[in-house]
Chain A
């Protein structure tokens, strides 16, 4: 579960995943490339949590550079129980090792873990929480994200970390935080996202809908194939940005250096070939190709336009609805066998998480389902999540 465990006696405990930089404590990004890497500074989000009295209990294992399905690509082996994949940060919270997990939501693994374990997580509005001191992968959509056992703990932690940071050029000015805490009345269920989920997930959605209805919320089924296309565009944007962001790891300045080289090209090539795992290499090559002269307009630029389409479609829905409910995954457990059979599941299961990733909208997972709202509507989403939480108890 841990890459590093720290003795900590404070009341409020936080575990940071291994994409969050911590001065004096190694941050490895789940990669051989960064084994033992010591950052010279600590992430802004963790600094803010510590200022509010949280204490760091350790660093949770992640899959290599945090964009995989559920930690299966971690260099030191995936975390599993009975042949089922587990996300270390979520397990630490479940095991009461930590009250809150501070994680990077790059490609939805945190939301998948929360949905599968019954934890509550929030992927805040893009720009709400500083990304200063996080290992960059897919900068245009990834966010610092929080996970805990209940809505109240997630809310507290978010309040501690949110707010403008001049060290992050994409951090929003405080004047933009007009929180929408109005009482939610109507929500939409995105039926496009229900077609391929299994019965367990369907049951979670059904019971969430029932709970909300019981609480007087109007629930309307909607379909939107444009939002459903988000995943395809996100795969392109994420891979291209990833390719660029991990090009810095080359065996020269820090991190893994191959012993096998006689010249600079071999140093680069062998350090990266030996230091990186297969899924990462695949994503690098794919991302690189989307940016080639031949493909840029057809593929990358197209994906950027689809991002706007998705944002516009959500905007239209939010004129009518307070939130859009959808699953966060197609199944409540991923077996090791299933991932061995399909190494690229992360590029398909993100069907459920990519809409919020690509659009920067806030997403709260509770009661095994995901609620996506308009920018700054976290409080409204928390209100809905509390209803689901109540139902679960």
Chain B
């Protein structure tokens, strides 16, 4: 029999705000001392009241718009109660009745073509704290820095049917949310986490199979492995009766490559949601709505099409539009240098070269594209050689304030217009290496490279290579 897999995802994304969702503590817990970004509210003490951070709503709306959702113009917060040490007030403030965004659609592309994935809703909520289990054997340590850091949870409909689609969907979410600059979406940092709901049924059946939920997955590779494992386990159970499938929460052990049923409490899932009396409804008026709408970036495919209209290849246009940081760097460089091909080459080969060498993701790019444009101009105007321009680019990464022209002048990287100097150097080099000259004349082209290299070195690279080559050959031929 043939089977189909039905997958729905709940993706938690930490929003890139400065402060927490309901209090003014810093929201940047990564690398901070434990419990350093904490106030009485963050550790469950009574008396402080929640006041909503505007940027959280801005970002929630933006995310909703990026995923083609309808925005609830009156959106409300609710309380969800349960006991766990990472939840200091024993309730989480979330959105149950009127989430910020509903009914979205995300288009993905896989080897099987394009497909739309429906989004059920996006809700805003506060994150929980962090538990540390490896400091002492008998004790769990609790850190509330992450408590109340704003999250959105993106709930898809069960429209996904393979690991490949899940990967494409997650990559698409990342790209769109990064484009809107609302989130880092770095699974390795925990700023994107994923719950996978999966069931398997005979192909064509309209009845859903028994659902397994895998919580808190934090790498796409692990998710793919877990899905493949679960699908096989479900089919095995259906066909061979190896086990009785139950609706349950499972934990994926990526090292062992297996999933395990988690022990659940009798009272698990009894969350007793109710509207939070302390948070008034958030009413999004036209002005607010329109300002967010106006702040949306172009979608990646719009940028890609625009880049192709500039005469770039599809490959280049795709590379440039994958990441908003790369796209903006390119567009800024282009706005200064006016040469799309040059700007594209510099961004695709040189800027990414430096990023890769530094182990930085594209999103971490802070290089000012306009300054890159200036650098490209120096090359186009033959003021700086390509080789030296790359050196300047390296320096630009170290110092964001760096002015390429000044740097070139100060470091003797300006191309020489003094042909007299070039003639003088060529004469010296030829005179100093009679053997190479003879070899070249005898037909050994390689010998020319040695002479060329010596000249270039003496000129500190400040000469156009083609010009130097012509002048060098002329000089030898004149001998």
Residues of A within 8 A of B (CB): 21, 29, 39-41, 43, 131-136, 139-140, 166-170, 240-241, 243-245, 247-248, 250, 252-254, 264, 268, 288, 291-293, 296, 300, 304
Contacts and interface: CB of A to CB of B under 8 A. Distances in A.
Contacts of B79: 244
A217 B392 CA distance: 89
A161 to B, nearest CB: 16
Contact of B272 (A21, A134, A292): A292
20 contacts: A39-B45, A39-B47, A40-B40, A41-B40, A43-B47, A135-B47, A136-B49, A139-B277, A140-B277, A168-B51, A170-B49, A170-B278, A240-B272, A241-B277, A243-B272, A244-B272, A247-B89, A248-B91, A252-B142, A264-B85
B270 A292 contact: yes
A169 B50 contact: yes
A21 B49 contact: no
B474 to A, nearest CB: 79
A363 B277 CA distance: 21
B397 interface: no
Interface string B35-66: 00000100111111111100000000000000
B187 interface: no
A166 B52 CA distance: 11
Contact of B46 (A135, A241, A250): A135
Contacts of A167: 48-49, 51
A247 B40 contact: no
A244 B83 contact: no
A132 B88 contact: no
A288 B85 CA distance: 20
A167 B46 CA distance: 14
A213 to B, nearest CB: 39
B279 interface: yes
Contacts of B45: 39-40, 248, 253-254
Contact of A169 (B49, B140, B272, B274): B49
Contacts of B89: 247-248
Contacts of B421: none
Interface of A is mostly: loop
Contacts of B274: 240-241, 244, 291, 296, 300
B362 interface: no
A135 B44 CA distance: 12
Contacts of A131: 49
B90 interface: yes
B277 A268 contact: no
B261 interface: no
Residue of B50, B83, B142, B275 contacting most chain A CB atoms (<10 Å): B83
Query: Which 8 interchain pairs have the tightest Cβ spacing?
Result: A140-B277, A247-B90, A291-B272, A248-B44, A139-B277, A248-B89, A135-B46, A21-B47
A159 to B, nearest CB: 23
Contacts of B273: 291, 296
A253 B86 CA distance: 11
B157 interface: no
A228 B91 CA distance: 33
Interface string B8-40: 000000000000000000000000000000001
Nearest to B80: A244
Contacts of A136: 46-47, 49, 278
Nearest to B91: A244
A326 to B, nearest CB: 25
A169 B278 contact: yes
A248 B92 CA distance: 11
